[in-house]
Amino acid sequence: MKLPDLSTTITDGNLIPGNIMARCFIDGNEAISRAAVDAGCRFFAGYPITPATTIFHQMVKMLPPVGGICLQGEDEIASIGFCIGASMAGMKAMTATSGPGISLYSEQISFAIGGEIPLVIVDVQRLGPSTGSATKGADGDIQFLRWGNSGGLPVIVLAPVDAVDCYQLTGHAFNLAERFRCPVFIASNKEIGMTRESVELAKLQLPPIIDRTTCPVDQPFLPFQAPAGSDVPYFLPIGGQRLVRQTSSTHGADGYITGDTEQIGATIRRLAQKIDKYIDEFSFYEMDGEPHCATLVITYGVTARAARQAVAALRLSGHDISLLIVKTLFPVPVKILQETIRAADRIVLIEMNLGLYKTEIERLCSGREVIHHTRMDGELISPEEISAVLRP
Amino acid sequence: MTSLLNAQRPPVFCPGCSHERTVHALDQALGRLDRAGNQVAVVSDIGCSGLFDTFFDTHALHGLHGRALTYATGLKMACPELTVIVVMGDGGLGIGGAHVLSACRRNLDITLLVLNNFNYGMTGGQCSATTPAGATTSSGFLNRLEAPLDICTVAGAAGAPWVDRLVATDRQLSERLAGAIAFNGFALLDIRGVCPGRFSAHNRTSLRQIEADMHELPPADTIVAANQRPEYSAHYRQLAAAAPACLPPARIEMRRQHALPRRCRILLLGAAGQRINTAGEVLCLAAMSSGLHASQKNDYPITVMRGHSVSEVIVDCEPIGYTGIDKPDVVIALAAEGVARRRQIIGALSADDLVIRSEGLELPPSQARIIDVPAATLGIGPRDQALAALAILCSQGPAITREALQDGCKLRFGGSILDKALDVIDRCRS
């Protein structure tokens, strides 16, 4: 069925004068796709997997007409490999999958970390383990994203709450990937990716676009040499004027394999530091209420939507309660977490998994109890469920 | 003829290794084609073939085992002018088999050199996908159980437009490499050679014997006539240039005032083919054109043409947080398949709740008020019952007005489908 052009308005009936508000009806996956293209992404490759497939559908509609490239890989390993190749040629690249695909990405993710290859990886999480439930949501991958690389180096994981976040965090994800030359994950969820909702898209703005820093023409180029005062090497594209070496092997600044442990150690420390040191500059979160409170609720992802409702209702009935929605999950935004945890009397953590963020919170609580509520059965955690936990 | 060999890093292969000959032949081939270093990218795999990129003053990408073709694909799509050469061994061929087949099918202008020495040299001489069954390897008797792969036959069957097979000592190697590189499409060369470090020690394999064995195989004569077709990247760009622009998402203008006092949760339960998801979307668009917020979640099995179809719709004057529906205000029940998915929820409905159902559909007992869709009386077919139920909902409370529902249809449909939808709404007026 051909759809009419919905951007034109209907002309009969009793129209309300003036465009008071015009919302779009989109899901999280479309929001991510739209933001990617708006952020300058011109290369996408993916392999079909529910609930991430509609990102591919959207990108294959959006990219070709704007001169971009959208490929369907023979598998997930190929899809992310295509993105790595395109990114090394200088393009902003994105891939999208769900938990089973992240497993197959794993070795390539390690390459992107070690080879300092900018890349945005969307994980529209579904209920695991393994094949699990394709059409049921969960937040069961967050530690998998953090630790699913060989070597255990830090990565950036952003967690949207709704379609609005999907749009804006995708913009940030591209900026962080470009700035730090690293893979950046968007930990979405079936319940966000495939839920359509009314969004004032025109009101949303992406952050100013950041591009990877290229090597000035008058300076010598070593592919893995961070310039003075920076932890991130200059980028030059494969295929450009000056020769570029990329390698998945342990390498020196020149991009050749090295066995020099001093150089190896320095590079590994730099790879960790370039992400960890700057976490305060990209600690995305939403604080609803005062830090000084009787109860602080911490949550992330789609569960935050129910938590907002539960907190609002309890506040109306006189409870002193605040809500912290963590949107940068990794590196753990220690500063903001510590500040809010310190000021609260009681800490409650709500998660749509078996409790994957619990240790991260507990280690910041100096031995204080963390009241913990989790659910992992394919159902959303409801506001009523959260209220029952929060009521003293 | 200028050389692109890296003067700082001469080849470091074992004495007698066939790979070294291929390094020089590749250099000569690039010289024949007059390629400058920055016009070439050497993408190397893992194993001894993975050292290849370091011997050349070209762009270089050394990646994971078996995945070299994946990077080469992204690179070539991004830089169509770049000469992209992939070098892998018979190990990479085996582990990356899916990528080799796909590269053959795709026909992107990449040249793949398979440095085939019949074993995993770097890891200690284990059998590979090309090891003869009679060979002695460090994999015990395992290679005796498997048939060796002739990649040229496989590649030809998979659609490769250029396949070539020769021994590394062949005098024509550089010329044949140049031909493959110059060919505008995917070209695969099976370059057979000896591995003195691992394979030759246990097997009396001479280059002469390898060559003799090779002649027993089906011919691999460069151009595969049946597989000639447009190169992928050029073809992609041709089709992409004709692709229609992707419109921004529709902006749903607010056209009317709503009278909804509080959140309304509507559960649509039906079966495949009843256009449940479409009805849910029309309802959301109707609500949005009245200035309301809306959310929609659909649930259906992978067999999209059979089984349940459930749509959960929430409309509200406030932004919608939690999108689950534990207690609906309205249930539209049109098929047993959908009802079976939400039996408990229906059973728990209270007297304030409304069920609009298909005539005669059995429901779990509940307190809810039930209205039937008089489909037979109104002449409404099974595909239009969901819309008819929404039209009935218009007369039952503030969730949605008839005008808003008409707006929703106008936003979702066009042409004769719209006319039919508006007619269904009209028929339900009474």
Tell me: the pLDDT tens digits for B14-48? 999 999 999 999 999 999 999 999 999 999 999 99
Neighbours of A235 (CB within 10 A): 22
- Do residues A149 and A212 touch, judged by C-beta distance below 8 A? no
**What pTM did the predictor assign?**
0.96
Same structural domain, B271 and B309: yes
Neighbours of A26 (CB within 10 A): 24
- State what percent of residues in chain B have pLDDT above 90: 94
Beta-sheet strand order (sheet of B264-271):
B252-253, A22-27, A196-199, B293-299, B308-316, B264-271, B330-333, B354-358, B369-373
Alpha-carbon distance of B286 to A251, in angstroms, equals 59
Q: Per-domain residue ranges for chain A? A: 21-282, 285-390
Burial of residue B64 (number of CB atoms within 10 Å: 0-12, 13-18, 19+): buried
Question: B296: which strand partners?
Answer: A196, B313
Q: A285-390: same fold as A21-282? A: yes
Q: For residue B347, give the CATH number of its domain.
A: 3.40.920.10
Whole-number CA gyration radius for chain A: 22
**Given B241, B275, B301, which residue is the final one in a domain?**
B241
SS3 B39: helix
Tell whether B13 is covered by a domain: no
SS3 A60: helix
Query: Range of B215's domain?
Result: 18-241
Neighbours of A120 (CB within 10 A): 31
Question: B124: which strand partners?
Answer: none
Mutate to test the interface with A, among B53, B101, B246 (most CBs of A within 10 A): B246
Task: For residue B294, list chain A residues with Cβ-Cβ distance below 8 A.
Answer: 25, 197-198
Tell whether B254 is covered by a domain: no
Chain A CA closest to residue B240: A64
Task: For residue A24, list chain B residues with Cβ-Cβ distance below 8 A.
Answer: 249-252
Whole-number pLDDT of residue A20: 56
ipTM of the complex: 0.97
Amino acid at A54: T
Same structural domain, B24 and B157: yes
Task: For residue B247, list chain A residues with Cβ-Cβ distance below 8 A.
Answer: 5-7
Token pair 């990108």: residue: A59
Q: Given its phi and psi angles, is residue A292 left (phi above 0), alpha (psi -120 to 50 degrees) or beta?
A: beta
Amino acid at B34: D
Task: For residue A45, list chain B residues with Cβ-Cβ distance below 8 A.
Answer: 74
Task: For residue A244, list chain B residues with Cβ-Cβ distance below 8 A.
Answer: 59-60
- Do residues B77 and A70 touch, judged by C-beta distance below 8 A? no
Same structural domain, B86 and B215: yes
Same structural domain, B222 and B287: no
DSSP per-residue codes, A207-264: PPP--PPBPPTTS---TT-PPTT-SS--B--TTSSS--EEESS-B-TTSSB---HHHH
Tell whether B378 is covered by a domain: yes
Q: What is the DSSP letter of B273?
A: T
| Among A residues 75-134, those touching chain B with beta carbons less than 8 Å apart | 75, 77-78, 80-91, 93, 107-108, 111, 134
Question: Residue A143 contacts by C-beta under 8 Å, 6 or more apart in sequence?
Answer: A356
Chain B CA closest to residue A68: B240
Question: Residue B111 contacts by C-beta under 8 Å, 6 or more apart in sequence?
Answer: B83, B84, B85, B86, B177, B180, B181, B183, B186, B187, B189
DSSP per-residue codes, A163-208: HHHHHHHHHHHHHHHHHHTSEEEEEEEHHHHT-EEEE-GGG--PPP
Token pair listed for B119: 């074993």
Q: For residue B85, give the CATH number of its domain.
A: 3.40.50.970
CATH for A285-390?
3.40.50.920
Report how far apart the first and last C-alpha atoms of chain A are (Å, whole number).
54
Secondary structure E strands in A47-191: 69-72, 93-97, 119-125, 156-158, 183-189
Same structural domain, B101 and B205: yes
Tell whether B287 is covered by a domain: yes
pLDDT in tens, chain A (392 residues): 333 333 333 333 344 444 557 899 999 999 999 999 999 999 999 999 999 999 999 999 999 999 999 999 999 999 999 999 999 999 999 999 999 999 999 999 999 999 999 999 999 999 999 999 999 999 999 999 999 999 999 999 999 999 999 999 999 999 999 999 999 999 999 999 999 999 999 999 999 999 999 999 999 999 999 999 999 999 999 999 999 999 999 999 999 999 999 999 999 999 999 999 999 999 999 999 999 999 999 999 999 999 999 999 999 999 999 999 999 999 999 999 999 999 999 999 999 999 999 999 999 999 999 999 999 999 999 999 999 999 86
Alpha-carbon distance of A54 to A134, in angstroms, equals 13
Q: Pick A89's closest partner by Cβ from B75, B324, B406.
A: B75
Q: Name the nearest CA neighbour of B66 among A256, A74, A250.
A: A74
Tell whether B291 is covered by a domain: yes
Q: Name the nearest CA neighbour of B104 among B69, B60, B63.
A: B69
Task: For residue A35, list chain B residues with Cβ-Cβ distance below 8 A.
Answer: none
Chain B CA closest to residue A86: B74
| Among A residues 152-211, those touching chain B with beta carbons less than 8 Å apart | 191, 194-198, 201-202
Domain count for chain B: 2
- Do residues A82 and B74 touch, judged by C-beta distance below 8 A? yes
Same structural domain, B84 and B142: yes
Same structural domain, B212 and B161: yes
Q: Which CATH number fits domain A21-282: 3.40.50.970, 3.40.50.300, 3.40.50.2300, 3.30.70.240?
A: 3.40.50.970
Tell me, rounded to whole angstroms, the distance of Cα A375 from its chain centroid: 22
Same structural domain, B149 and B69: yes
Whole-number pLDDT of residue B430: 66
Q: Pick A241's closest partner by Cβ from B38, B239, B249.
A: B38
Same structural domain, B80 and B201: yes
Tell whether B256 is covered by a domain: no
Mutate to test the interface with A, among B39, B73, B309, B325 (most CBs of A within 10 A): B73
Same structural domain, B85 and B197: yes
Mean pLDDT for chain B? 96
- Do residues B129 and B149 touch, judged by C-beta distance below 8 A? yes
Same structural domain, B351 and B305: yes
Q: Name the nearest CA neighbour of A195 among A164, A159, A218, A222.
A: A164
